[in-house]
Amino acid sequence: MRAAAQLVADLPPAAAAWCTGLRKRYGRRQAVDGVSLEVGRGEVVGLLGPNGAGKTTVIKMLLGLVRPDDGEVMLLGRPATDPAARVRVGYLPELFRYQPWLTAAEVLALHVRLSGVDVPAGEQREALALVGLGERAADRVGGFSKGMQQRLGLAVALVARPELVVLDEPTSALDPLGRVDVRDIVLSLRSRGVAVLLNSHLIGEVERVCDRVVILDHGRVAAAGTLTELLGQQEVQLHLTGVSPAAESRLAAAGTVDREGDWFAVALTGDDDATVPDLVSDLVALRVRVHAVEPGRISLEERLLGILRTGSAA
Amino acid sequence: MNVVRTIAALTLRESARRKVLRALAALTVVLLALSAWGFSRLAAENDFGTMTSGQARLVASQLLNLVMFGMSLIAALGTAFLAGPTVSGEVESGVALSMLARPVRRSAVLLGKWLGLVAFGSGFVVLAGLAQCVVVYLTVDYWPSQPVVALALLGAQTATLLTLGLLLSTVISPMASGVVAVGLFGATWIAGVVGGLGAAFGNDGVARVGTVSQILLPTDGLWRGAMYALQDPTAFAAFGAEMAGFPFLSAGPLSWAYLVWAALWIAMVWGLAALSFGRRDL
């Protein structure tokens, strides 16, 4: 018996969020078509994709707000059909609205009571202060601007000591300062081992804070992986003159070429240390004058656009 | 249980903080003041004095029923428009999203809302109804035969309409659910009046209209039970025959079977609301 208990205790903790084969149809439109994803403990996962790709629907199915037609969801090791699975889950919805007749502090107290977690009043005030609403705790939510309501939503998502935080477009109503605050909050959550699922249109934001990215398109996972896996492809920028057809074909052999005047951007297909030096020496041998060679990394934005345009996971 | 209590308290706080309570209170005070004035004029007018005491009691209990109907109408409007926005309004605005992502069952949230609304609606009817009885007692010295039964039935009538409003609000938009609930309430009342006339004229077919509508939506049946408890039984026995079929006169008390049916009706409609809310995609 003790051995069995030890065995269970030694198991790695279950993923913060895990789902497989999620499907949802609205009328004739298949909004989500077989999505499987996983958010590990303490991991920050970004959910990217164009409008209508099914990101918010996937999030709502994870949280039990939308009933999936098919598929299975586990939250923090429990099936999501059991409400208790959401005890340690914080959620900031895309449509963030809170009871306008309550004060900010009362909204937090309400969510603490609903979560069933015992959070002292001082800690609740800290959550408000963290999102910059410390001074407005006693004010009615009805008088808050959209940005302040979104900040309040963030405090609501964080207040009940979550182990998984789901943020759906957390910066849509925030000014640039607010965006930086959100980034800092996500990074501090990660440092405390809290898992975060972040849905955002702001690719830069995702690139800065996420360990892994899942790209959805037309209700399916178009690509998924760590940033290095997704952005592993190297790019090199070359400033060249005297490029002969032979040199052009040598460039094309190295990878996809994008020419702008004398600048050539080559997305390299080979990925070892010799690729760039070999290319440069070959070009010199072809009597091309090399003015500049700049290493470049494909940005997540370019990668995302590439995936969405070709419609393949590449 | 914690969730049910929390949501019930929240619903009561919402009613208190929103303008509904103030609007209801203002309407009630106006109605009470008007009825106090009306009853006092009635007592002062000469012909009230020329009536026999039995006639006077009948008129007083008639008028009390009339005013109470106004009161129950205010309660019906108030609670239907409070129950309407409660589910669909919160779903539309997004307030429901963050709440239902908490570890709560939707049925527990719905039960909490229902309890809060029933406490508010029935509490209002009982208090305002009691105030009205006191006004009548002070002005024309008439006290209903069974005030406790009457107020309890008025409370039950409010709870019935409110449960219907809750069911409607899980399927249609906030405004529509309030309008439909009040519309059905009015329609059953009229059907009840029509049925009463049918009974008075011995037309069974027309009388059945009232009976069927009182089964389908028990608000009117409960209201008639409350009226019976408010009016003077001896007065009705003496003069009622001349006025049979009059909308503010009730011919008999409610049967236990009907009360059980009303309770069952509320339970069934609540169950449907819970089922519909539980399946809804937010």
3-state SS of B80-101 is HHHHHHHHHHHHHHCHHHHHHC
A253 with A212, same domain? no
The answer to whether B224 and B192 are in contact (CB under 8 A) is yes
Q: Does B278 touch chain A (CB under 8 A)?
A: no
* Amino acid sitting at position B246: F
Same-domain status, A43 and A181:
yes
Whole-number percent of chain A with pLDDT over 90: 54
Contact B102 A115 (CB under 8 A): yes
> Chain B residue with minimal CA distance to A65?
B282
Q: What is the pLDDT of residues A87-119, one digit of tens each?
A: 999 999 999 999 999 999 999 999 999 999 999
Asked, for residue A104, whether it belongs to a domain, the answer is yes
Top mean pLDDT of A121-130, A304-313, B141-150, B232-241 is at: A121-130
Q: ipTM, 2 decimals?
A: 0.83
* Among candidate residues A228, A250, A280, the one where a domain is terminated: A228
Q: Quick one: CA dihedral A49, A53, A57, A63, positive or negative?
A: negative
pLDDT of A313 = 45
Residues from chain A that touch B279, judged by Cβ atoms under 8 A, are 67
**Rg for chain B, CA atoms, rounded:** 20
Bridge partners, residue A216, by sequence: A221
Q: B96 exposed, middle or buried (CB, 10 Å; 0-12, 13-18, 19+)?
A: buried
Rounded Cα gap, residues A52 and A265, in angstroms:
32
B116, B8 contact by CB (below 8 A): yes
The count of domains in chain A is 2
Q: How far apart are CA A129 and CA A104, in angstroms?
A: 11
Residues 6+ apart with CB under 8 A from B36: B135, B138, B139
Q: Is A144 on the interface with B (CB under 8 A)?
A: no
Nearest-Å Rg of the Cα atoms of chain A is 24
**Spatial CA neighbour of A15 closest among A35, A37, A47:** A37
- pLDDT score recorded for residue B185: 84
- Please tell me whether residues A177 and A276 are part of one structural domain: no
Strand order in the sheet with A29-39: A29-39, A17-26, A70-75, A78-79
pLDDT band at A271 (very low <50, low <70, confident <90, very high): low
A76 touches A63 (CB < 8 A): no
Residue A243 lies in a domain: yes
Of A87, A121, A89, whose CA–CA distance to A105 is shortest? A121
The answer to whether residues A56 and A181 belong to one domain is yes
pLDDT higher at A6 or A261: A261
Task: For residue A2, tell me if it sits in a domain.
Answer: no
Q: Cβ distance A171 to A3 under 8 Å?
A: no
Q: Note whether A249 and A138 are same-domain residues.
A: no
Q: CA of B22, closest CA in chain A: separation in Å?
A: 14
Q: Mark the ranges of chain B whose per-residue pLDDT is less than 70.
A: 45-53, 235-249, 251
Residue A3 included in any domain: no
In a domain, A306, yes or no: no
CB contact (8 A) between residue B94 and residue A96:
yes
Q: What are phi and psi of A165, to 5 degrees?
A: -120, 125
User: Both tokens of residue B274?
Assistant: 């819970």
Residue B56: Cβ within 10 Å count: 20
Please give the DSSP secondary-structure letter assigned to residue A92: E
Give the gap in angstroms from C-alpha A114 to the nearest C-alpha of chain B.
6
Kindly report the average pLDDT of chain A as a whole number: 88
B97 CA to chain A: closest CA distance, Å? Answer: 7
The tens digit of pLDDT for each residue in A34-85 reads 999 999 999 999 998 888 889 999 999 999 999 999 999 999 989 998 999 9
pLDDT above 70 (res A312): no
Cα gap A191→B139, rounded to integer Å: 74
Q: What are phi and psi of B148, to 5 degrees?
A: -65, -45
Do A109 and A21 fall within a single domain? yes
Q: Indicate the Cα dihedral angle A93, A96, A102, A103, nearest 10°.
A: 100
A224 with A264, same domain: the answer is no
Q: Measured between CB atoms, does B18 come within 8 Å of chain A?
A: yes
| Higher pLDDT among residues A5 and B117, named by residue | B117
A207 with A273, same domain: the answer is no
**Segment A9-20 mean pLDDT:** 82
Asked if residue A310 is part of any domain, the answer here is: no
Instruction: Tell me whether A85 touches chain B (CB under 8 Å).
Output: yes
Residue A100 near residue B13 (C-beta atoms within 8 A): no
Using CB atoms and an 8 Å cut-off, which of residues 105-124 of chain B contact chain A? 105
Which of B21, B91, B98, B104 should be substituted to probe chain A, the one whose Cβ sees the most A Cβ atoms within 10 Å?
B98
Q: Mean per-residue pLDDT for A147-167?
A: 94
Determine how many CB atoms are found less than 10 A away from the CB of residue A187. Answer: 14
Residues A45 and A161 grouped into a single domain = yes
In chain A, what residues touch B13 (CB-CB under 8 Å)? 101-102
Q: Are residues A262 and A246 in the same domain?
A: yes
Cβ proximity of A307 and A215 under 8 Å: yes
Q: What is the pLDDT of residue B86?
A: 79
- Segments forming the whole domain that contains residue B15: 2-279
- At residue A79, the 3 state secondary structure works out as strand
Position A33 confidence tier, pLDDT thresholds 50, 70, 90? very high
Chain centroid offset of residue A192 CA? 18
The answer to whether the Cβ–Cβ distance between A65 and B97 falls below 8 Å is yes
Closest Cα to residue A64, out of B51, B97, B39, B252? B97
Residue A147 located in a structural domain: yes
A296-313 burial code (b ≥16 CB/10 A, e <16): eebebebbbebbbeeeee
Question: Edge to edge, what strands does the sheet with A164-168 contain?
Answer: A89-92, A164-168, A195-199, A44-48, A212-217, A220-226
Query: Is residue A240 located within the same domain as residue A268?
Result: yes
Q: Which CATH number is A149's domain given?
A: 3.40.50.300
Q: Answer yes or no: do A188 and A287 share one domain.
A: no
Of A98, A110, A116, Cβ closest to residue B103: A116
Cβ(B96)–Cβ(B271) below 8 Å: no
Q: Specify the pLDDT at position B125.
A: 86
Domain that holds residue A55: 8-228
Sequence-separated (6 or more) residues with CB below 8 Å from residue B177 = B80, B83, B84, B88, B165, B168, B169, B171
Residue B240 or residue A185, greater confidence: A185
**Per-residue model confidence (pLDDT) at position A314:** 41
